[in-house]
Amino acid sequence: MTKAGMDDRELQLKIDAYSDMLFKLCFLRLRSAQDAEDVVQEVFYQYLKKRPAFQSPEHEKAWFLKVALNGCRKVWRSAWKRHQDTWQDGDGAASVAAGREADPDACGREPEESFLRREENRRLLQAVLDLPEKYRDVIHLFYYEELSVKEIARATGRGESTVTSQLTRGRALLRKSLKEEYDFG
């Protein structure tokens, strides 16, 4: 097999392994599906260009997350982004909640149950999106990507104790936000 064929197959494996995770992270950071897709594309371009050698699968995952977070920072610092509205509530959250996060259990459910589950997921996603950025990142990486505190610290460049306290504070903010939403008394 040619080197180019091997490279294509290797790249496709990386895309399959990381693209959804990176898109979700970038979307939570940028609140724009288009910007998130651009950053993910740039991450894979950087991978092709640099061809980094990884010490372990955890190191590889941390590299992809770090490059994605840096790409998000670059978008936020751009003059174009500073002059745009920061949040256009269109299909963004709904597409992530519905399109990218298909519910595998929905097949055997009653339509009402399925609707209520999707609505609850949408509310939770919106509550996560409303968190300050530093809490949003660690909550997403911990719960959605199932990274350990140590892996989050490595990927974000924060200390483990910082990640732990941001997780605790993020959970408290989510609890308060969701309690207020469901507190009718």
CATH number for 7: 1.10.1740
Q: Is the CB of residue 138 less than 8 Å from the CB of residue 166? A: yes
Q: Is residue 164 part of a domain?
A: no
Q: Is residue 32 part of a domain?
A: yes
Task: Give the pLDDT of residue 84.
Answer: 53
Q: CA–CA separation, 55 vs 57, rounded Å?
A: 7
Task: Give the pLDDT of residue 156.
Answer: 87
Counting the structural domains of the chain, the total is 1
Residue 178 identity: L
Domain of 42 in residue numbering reads as 1-88
Q: Is residue 3 part of a domain?
A: yes
Task: Give the pLDDT of residue 172.
Answer: 93
Stretches in the chain below the pLDDT threshold 50: 1-3, 6, 83, 85-106, 184-185
Q: Is residue 19 part of a domain?
A: yes
Closest Cα to residue 150, out of 160, 140, 161?
Answer: 160
Residue count (the chain): 185
What's the longest Cα–Cα distance across the chain? 68
Closest Cα to residue 88, out of 167, 14, 30?
Answer: 30
Q: Is residue 150 part of a domain?
A: no
Q: Is residue 57 part of a domain?
A: yes
- Global pTM reads 0.58
Q: What is the pLDDT of residues 36-87, one digit of tens each?
A: 999 999 999 999 898 898 999 888 998 999 999 999 888 877 756 554 544 4
Task: Give the pLDDT of residue 16.
Answer: 93
Q: Is residue 46 part of a domain?
A: yes
Q: Is residue 122 part of a domain?
A: no
